[in-house]
Amino acid sequence: MYLSLKNHPFAVEAYFEQSLVLTFALPKERLQPQLPECLLPDTFDDHWAFVAVALVQTKQLRPKGFPGWVGNDFFLAGYRIFVRYTNAAGKRLRGLYILRSETDRRKMAFFGNLFTHYQYRTTDISREEQGGQTAFHSLRSGLDILIEAAAPGIVPPLPEGSPFKDWKEARRYAGPLPFTFTYNRRRREVLLIEGVREHWQPEPVQVRHYEVGFLKDMGWQDAVLANAFMVRDIPYCWKKGKKELWQPS
């Protein structure tokens, strides 16, 4: 019964006050070992695969249909790989595979680990905005990021070394993608969680500085910063999880 609780047993809704996603590129062979057998890296030029670092200020997270005042506010750092999955109907789906989740609220970590497989842990995340710049810091997570929003009408340059030639290409790897996947290896069972959002228009931002402890932990400190996007003030919903058996082709 406990394991079934972890399979997203009900729909959830929240409000994203702010969501910053930094996407890092590595050769696909570096990320494939972290994925279950049912998933493949979502590649670019058949070479690059991508891991995203998402920093989200979330408001009023609660079961769908409940009033906002019963929800919880928390900060989230999520580390995910961009992936593809072919479902039982033969349709190819793009999505994310979550490696780790961090939050500044013990309550969120407890319930997150009760109802999901997202491996929540608590940490000391802070955010500070000043003069068009936003800083994110966590001593425990080894996280130190400084970004700057572009002036109106100005498009910032892509990060140096990005595999993308322009922001249009980079936008395909901005997140979030339509699905998140988890996998029960023993049962060969895939859990699909579909996200629903409105008015999602990510704006490119310039990263002035970054340190990401998770990348060092994984041995990916040589990952190339490929893009960085910010969105603000977005209602978001996750549908109830759906399970299906994976059939190898």
How confident is the model over 181-201, as pLDDT tens digits?
Answer: 999 999 999 999 999 887 788
Residue 56 domain-assigned (yes or no) = yes
Residue 171 domain-assigned (yes or no) = yes
Of 214, 177, 186, nearest to 79 by C-alpha is: 214
Residue 168 in this model has a pLDDT that exceeds 90? yes
Bridge partners of 25? 50, 224
Q: CATH number of the domain that 134 lies in?
A: 2.40.400.10
Structural domain of residue 173, as residue ranges?
2-244
Quote the tokens at residue 237.
């919903």
Residue 193 domain-assigned (yes or no) = yes
Distance CA 112, CA 182 (A): 14
Residue 249 domain-assigned (yes or no) = no
The pLDDT, as a whole number, for residue 128 is 93
The pLDDT, as a whole number, for residue 3 is 62
Average pLDDT, the chain: 92
Of 120, 131, 130, nearest to 77 by C-alpha is: 120
Quote the tokens at residue 87.
């479902």
Residue 126 domain-assigned (yes or no) = yes
Instruction: State how far the alpha carbon of 53 is from the alpha carbons of 21, 82, 100, 166, in Å.
Output: 6, 11, 10, 20
Residue 101 in this model has a pLDDT that exceeds 70? yes
Helix (H) or strand (E) holding 114: helix 106-115
Residue 41 domain-assigned (yes or no) = yes
For range 81-95, the mean pLDDT:
94
End-to-end CA distance of the chain: 31
CB atoms near residue 88 (< 10 Å): 10
CB atoms near residue 91 (< 10 Å): 8
The pLDDT, as a whole number, for residue 156 is 92
